[in-house]
């Protein structure tokens, strides 16, 4: 019979543990307890910001509240650019828990690859956009899925009712609703609002359940009212587009100014683009040619040469100038007229557009005097309208001019300008010889006196010369308008490519009406017409006539000459008698 051994009689218990061992274990336990107490006191009493921040991050978020961008309207208050509400889909990455099927479904609705979606939500950021500015119906479908960590946010997207008609004036905004081109960029500080922010509480699924507070209220942007007239803008656009199609031209531009205020009533460039859909855009479409591109103005510069001659008293309206045999040799170069004329008065030099006559007028003055005149007109420097990339043109220092260069500049070669600069300079003839600054925004008060460039008498005399240029015998009879007296000048210049004049042309016309009391200036430029005609009088003058006629009637400006040729003859005679 075996001997039983009970638990309390187990021989192992009879062996005592070493006394130091139990004390060591006790000290470890006491030390650990003290460390935990010290740590808890430190975190809760001394450095409690860390735990509070971590805890708050589990349920609280600061959400940005977008501000509404200001509208852009035309001079009559018609909307040209407005921000419309859209939805953007965003996520809190740590809360996103999607099955493979849900990821594929969400990626399909967003129009992105499932791998790209996975990459976006794998970030350690607290907030990430999945897709900006999506259609409202798509946002509703995503919301119906009730996916954890996926949220929507209201934003604003810019809409341009005029589309490609006003594209180069207005420009466009980016995905953040910030101006990128045109008025949107030039007036960014006024149009852009200041976004606000609010603190919210979310539940364990990441869904917002309560607004806690508004940290900063959003400040909406201010509206900008342009000088632009939407009706004149569309008329200019349609007329220029038709001219480019008929003449098979590469590009073109047109500017309409109010001579009394310097307001820009229309600005059109072709080719253009639709700012509402900027897919597959090229640089050529985006260029605001009227401001960023320069060209040699050709004969549209001759009236300024004549004005300089008259203003100094060296020449009179009817002073004769010998232009025979239609050529003028200076050094090794020869200047030629398209048609030989013989003796011409100063007025006929402009009417017939004689290069030889203009060169002889210019060479009677010093280069410094002529350069100063060009500088006073604003050539060689940007107009500073605020548009990005605005060109100043090319006007070399007078001390570097050779006689042949001064002669060719008299008829618009060897100097480059933008179309807006040419339109601006013609204000001196539409007014009393003074030059106003231009304005892109509506002007409601009378502008201050402009900078005097020529005398009022000189302006009137040159205006009479420009009227002769659009009558039979001049270079631009196609610029005439029924019941209105018109004054203007054609320009036809070879294009300069790689330092050599190519067999390509820039055709232009700049004019004003009504000539008895000018109200509008219209400048037209057609680049590389290839439809068989290239003279400014054939290509650009008809566009001027259409746009000027429609603009005068749109503004309700009364006709000034039912019998224009007879009235012009009387005015020319009156000018001669006054001298």
Exposure string for 158-195, b = 16+ CB within 10 A, e = fewer: bebebebbbbbbbbbbeeebebbbbbbbbbbeebbbee
Q: Do 379 and 428 touch, CB atoms closer than 8 A?
A: no
Kindly tell me the number of DSSP H helices and DSSP E strands found in the chain. Answer: 22, 19
Q: Is 545 a catalytic residue?
A: no
What is the C-alpha separation between 375 and 288, in angstroms, rounded?
23
What is the C-alpha separation between 407 and 403, in angstroms, rounded?
6
Choosing from 83, 88, 299, 418, which is the catalytic residue? Answer: 299
Q: Do 64 and 196 touch, CB atoms closer than 8 A?
A: yes
**Selection from 55, 578, 3, 536 nearest residue 298 by Cα:** 536
What is the C-alpha separation between 206 and 291, in angstroms, rounded?
51
Rounded (5°) CA angle 324-326-331: 100
**Selection from 258, 341, 319, 343 nearest residue 461 by Cα:** 319
What is the C-alpha separation between 95 and 205, in angstroms, rounded?
7
Tokens at 420, concatenated:
């807006």
**Selection from 105, 144, 111 nearest residue 130 by Cα:** 111
The length of the chain is 579
The sign one gets for the Cα dihedral 97, 100, 101, 102 is positive
What is the C-alpha separation between 189 and 132, in angstroms, rounded?
23
What is the C-alpha separation between 373 and 410, in angstroms, rounded?
12
> Beta partners for 128?
91
For the CA atoms of 14, 15, 20, 23, the dihedral, rounded to the nearest 10 degrees, stands at -40
**Selection from 76, 83, 68 nearest residue 226 by Cα:** 76
What positions carry a catalytic annotation?
A: 299
């Amino acid at each position: 019979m075996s001997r039983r051994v009970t638990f309390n009689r187990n021989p192992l218990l009879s062996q005592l543990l070493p006394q130091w061992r139990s004390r060591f274990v006790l000290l470890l336990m006491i030390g650990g307890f003290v460390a935990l107490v010290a740590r808890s006191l430190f975190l809760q009493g001394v450095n409690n910001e860390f735990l509070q921040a971590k805890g708050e991050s589990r349920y609280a978020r600061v959400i940005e509240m977008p501000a509404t961008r200001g509208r852009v309207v035309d001079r009559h208050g018609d909307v040209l650019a407005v921000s419309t509400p859209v939805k953007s889909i965003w996520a809190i990455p740590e809360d996103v828990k999607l099955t493979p099927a849900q990821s594929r479904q969400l990626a399909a609705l967003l129009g992105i690859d499932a791998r790209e979606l996975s990459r976006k939500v794998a970030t350690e950021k607290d907030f990430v956009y999945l897709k900006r500015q999506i259609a409202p119906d798509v946002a509703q479908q995503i919301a119906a899925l009730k996916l954890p960590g996926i949220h929507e946010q209201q934003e604003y997207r810019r809409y341009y009712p005029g589309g490609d008609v006003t594209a180069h004036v207005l420009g466009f905004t980016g995905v953040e609703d910030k101006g990128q081109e045109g008025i949107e960029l030039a007036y960014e500080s006024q149009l852009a609002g200041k976004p606000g922010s609010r603190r919210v509480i979310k539940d364990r699924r990441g869904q917002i359940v309560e607004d806690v507070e508004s940290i900063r209220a959003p400040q909406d942007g201010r509206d900008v009212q342009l000088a632009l007239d939407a009706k004149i803008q569309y008329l200019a656009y349609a007329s220029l587009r038709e001219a480019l199609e008929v003449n098979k031209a590469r590009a073109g531009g047109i500017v309409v100014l109010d001579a009394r205020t310097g307001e820009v009533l229309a600005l059109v460039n072709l080719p253009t683009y639709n700012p509402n859909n900027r897919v597959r855009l090229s640089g050529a479409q985006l260029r605001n040619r009227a401001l960023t591109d320069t060209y040699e103005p050709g004969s549209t510069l001759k009236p300024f040469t004549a004005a300089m001659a008259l203003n100094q008293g060296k020449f009179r309206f009817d002073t004769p100038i010998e232009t025979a045999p239609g050529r003028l040799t200076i050094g090794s170069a020869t200047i030629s007229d398209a048609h030989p004329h013989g003796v011409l008065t100063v007025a006929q030099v402009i009417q017939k557009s004689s290069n030889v006559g203009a060169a002889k007028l210019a060479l009677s003055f010093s280069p410094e005097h002529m350069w100063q005149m060009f500088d006073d007109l604003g050539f060689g420097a940007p107009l500073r309208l605020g548009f990005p990339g605005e060109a100043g043109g090319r006007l070399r220092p007078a001390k570097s001019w050779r006689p042949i260069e001064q002669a060719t500049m008299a008829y618009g070669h060897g100097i480059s300008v933008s179309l807006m600069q040419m339109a601006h300079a013609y204000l001196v003839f539409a007014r009393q010889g003074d030059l106003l600054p231009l304005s892109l925004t509506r002007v409601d008060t009378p502008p201050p006196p402009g900078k005097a460039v020529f005398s009022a008498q000189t302006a009137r005399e040159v205006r009479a010369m420009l009227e002769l240029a659009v009558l039979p015998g001049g270079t631009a009879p196609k610029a005439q308008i029924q019941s209105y007296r018109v004054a203007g000048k054609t320009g036809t210049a070879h294009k300069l490519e790689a330092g050599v004049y190519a067999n390509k042309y820039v055709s232009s016309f700049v004019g004003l009406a009504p000539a008895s009391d000018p109200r509008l200036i219209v400048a037209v430029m057609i680049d590389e017409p290839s439809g068989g005609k290239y003279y400014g009088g054939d290509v650009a003058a008809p566009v001027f006539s259409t746009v000027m006629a429609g603009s005068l009637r749109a503004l309700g400006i009364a006709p000034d000459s039912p019998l224009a040729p007879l009235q012009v003859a009387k005015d020319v005679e009156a000018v001669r008698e006054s001298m």
